[in-house]
């Protein structure tokens, strides 16, 4: 990042990680989790080091409340949170689910964009502001820790949401979350919005913090979240693998990757556990993006000969992270575009020393199988077989 940027991060700023895999993430098509899976996943999130687990939407159904209660019995250190509309019954359900847990948080939201307020809800700005005030005041009777979100904030009138955030902080809200609900914002614009809201929040209560919740409809969820951090946000809402509504959310592992690459902020995340947790989510849902950064199947894989040569000589030629930092390993994938350096390195990995000429003979076998339309992918067992056959 440009060190001359006036919005440069404070040195080693602490960023709180709010994981919503079990709430927003589960809203992703194909990502439904069984109750036992949710509890097991929450236990692993605690080991990962997240600061907040949004365990569900207690008002949505009895099963959600039961799962939140179970999570509260199994998890001890993070805040456990339930989403709630600005409705007293939602707040009651959230309290019912969380009442036996000391570090509980209520997350209240209200749509604030014109299309959401007038078209979806059929209300006016005056009505929603009254409902927000009543909900926050009511929630304070049950929760010391309250987060508030203006849903669709990036498409809302800025003056309106500034006034709303200022009011709710004055009423005792501790976290002001700024959602890019439909992923419609760009980094510079989002950063400016976060900076304005942060100034209001800190002016009202220096101990309160701003948070960001970004979706990926324009492919900007992670970079918008980073610009949010650069402009004052102290919490990022994210999911493992970036799962979530439509194109998904900001992914937790990408925030941690930026942390490691820039060393300009820190989190409590034990990054080496990320791959294990991503695999657990894949086991439960069958969903994974193979080309996603950090947790994608191929994110530390190299197939082209030039790249394999570079990695074999010095890993940092083509990898900006230590794969082991994320529980991963560098992988050389042998194919028709590979070179003899890659084959020799892969042979060494499986315990065989071969010459350049021998490696080239193996590559000829691989290329011929692809050219003949017989085989595309080659395992270590295949390479071992080809080595033996061409000896």
- Could you report the per-residue pLDDT of 84-107, keeping only the tens digit for each? 999 999 999 999 999 999 999 999
Residues 278 and 188 in one domain: yes
Q: Are residues 271 and 332 in the same domain?
A: no
Percent helix, strand, coil in the chain (nearest 5)? Answer: 50, 15, 35
pLDDT digits (tens, 9 = 90+) for 58-83: 999 999 999 999 999 999 999 999 99
Task: Reply yes or no on whether the pLDDT at 3 is more than 90.
Answer: no
Instruction: Provide the pLDDT for residue 11.
Output: 61
Question: Looking at the structure, do residues 236 and 316 belong to the same domain, yes or no?
Answer: no
Same-domain check for residues 36 and 79? yes
Q: What's 38's domain CATH number? A: 3.20.20.70
Domain final residue pick, 285, 318, 348: 285
* Residue 7 pLDDT exceeds 50: no
Task: Give mean pLDDT, residues 150-172.
Answer: 98
Q: Residues 304-355: pLDDT tens digits?
A: 999 999 998 999 999 999 999 999 999 999 998 999 999 988 889 889 899 9
For residue 292, tell me if it sits in a domain.
no
Q: Has residue 54 been placed in a domain? A: yes
Whole-prediction pTM value? 0.92
The whole-chain average pLDDT of the chain stands at: 94
Do 308 and 244 fall within a single domain?
no
64 within domain boundaries: yes
Nearest C-alpha neighbor of 22 from the set 112, 82, 103: 82
pLDDT bin (cut points 50, 70, 90) of residue 391 is confident
Q: Are residues 164 and 84 in the same domain?
A: yes
pLDDT score of 5: 43
113 and 226 assigned to the same domain:
yes
Final residue in a domain of this structure, among 233, 258, 285:
285
Say which DSSP state 115 is in: I
Residue 295 lies in a domain: no
Q: Tell me if 2 is assigned to some domain.
A: no
CB-based contacts of 203: which residues, under 8 Å, 6+ apart?
A: none
225 inside domain: yes
pLDDT grade, residue 282 (50/70/90)?
Answer: very high
Instruction: Check whether residue 163 and residue 209 sit in a common domain.
Output: yes
Q: Does residue 47 lie within any of the structural domains?
A: yes
> Are 334 and 218 in the same domain?
no
Proportion of the chain above pLDDT 90, given as a percent: 90
* Model pLDDT, residue 4: 38
Q: Residue 240 domain-assigned?
A: yes
Domain co-membership, 274 together with 353: no
Same domain, 227 and 351: no
Domain that holds residue 228: 13-285
The total number of structural domains in the chain stands at 2
Q: What is the pLDDT of residue 349?
A: 87
**String of b and e for 284-314 (b: at least 16 CB within 10 Å)?**
bbeebbeebbbbbeebbbbbebebbbbbbee
Pick the last residue of a domain from 257, 285, 313: 285
Is pLDDT at 283 greater than 70 in this prediction? yes
pLDDT of residue 29: 87
Choice among 173-177, 195-199, 252-256, 368-372 with the minimum mean pLDDT:
368-372
* 241 pLDDT above the threshold of 50: yes
pLDDT of 24-52, one tens digit each? 999 998 899 999 999 999 999 999 999 99
Mean pLDDT value of segment 234-259: 97
Are 222 and 332 contained in the same domain? no
Specify the residue for token string 């942060």: 198
Alpha-helix residue ranges (DSSP H) falling in the chain: 35-48, 62-74, 88-98, 114, 125-139, 158-170, 187-204, 221-230, 252-262, 274-285, 305-313, 340-349, 356-371, 380-389
Burial class (CB in 10 A: 0-12, 13-18, 19+), 155: middle
């Amino acid at each position: 990042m440009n060190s001359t940027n006036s919005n440069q991060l404070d040195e080693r700023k602490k960023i709180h990680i709010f994981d919503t895999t079990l709430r927003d993430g589960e809203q992703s098509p194909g990502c439904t989790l069984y109750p036992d899976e949710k509890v097991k996943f929450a236990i692993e999130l605690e080991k990962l080091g997240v600061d907040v687990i949004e365990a569900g939407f207690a008002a949505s159904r009895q099963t959600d409340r039961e799962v939140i209660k179970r999570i509260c019995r199994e998890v001890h250190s993070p805040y456990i949170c339930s989403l709630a509309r600005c409705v007293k019954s939602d707040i009651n359900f959230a309290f019912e689910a969380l009442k036996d847990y000391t570090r509980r948080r209520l997350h209240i939201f209200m749509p604030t964009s014109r299309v959401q307020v007038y078209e979806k809800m059929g209300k006016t700005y005056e009505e929603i502001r009254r409902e927000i005030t009543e909900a926050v005041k009511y929630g304070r009777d049950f929760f010391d820790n309250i987060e508030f979100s203006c849903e669709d904030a990036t498409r809302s009138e800025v003056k309106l949401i500034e006034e709303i955030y200022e009011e709710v902080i004055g009423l005792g809200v501790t976290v002001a979350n700024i959602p890019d609900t439909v992923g419609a914002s760009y980094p510079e614009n989002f950063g400016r919005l976060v900076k304005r809201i942060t100034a209001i929040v800190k002016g009202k209560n220096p101990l309160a913090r701003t948070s960001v919740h970004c979706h990926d409809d324009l492919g900007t969820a992670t970079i918008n979240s980073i610009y949010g951090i650069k402009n004052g946000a102290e919490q990022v809402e994210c999911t493992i693998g970036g799962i979530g509504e439509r194109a998904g959310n900001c992914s937790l592992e990408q925030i941690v990757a930026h942390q490691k690459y820039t060393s300009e902020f820190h989190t409590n995340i034990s990054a080496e556990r990320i791959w294990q947790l991503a695999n657990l989510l894949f086991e439960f849902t069958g969903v994974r993006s193979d080309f996603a950064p950090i947790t994608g199947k191929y994110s530390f894989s190299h197939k082209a000969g030039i790249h394999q040569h570079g990695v074999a000589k010095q890993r940092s030629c083509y990898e900006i992270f230590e794969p082991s930092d994320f529980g991963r390993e560098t992988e050389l994938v042998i194919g028709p575009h590979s070179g003899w350096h890659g084959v020799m390195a892969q042979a060494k990995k499986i315990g065989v020393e071969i010459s350049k000429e021998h490696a080239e003979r193996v590559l000829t076998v691989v290329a011929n199988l692809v050219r003949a339309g017989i085989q595309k992918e080659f395992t270590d067992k295949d390479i071992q077989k080809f080595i033996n056959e061409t000896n």
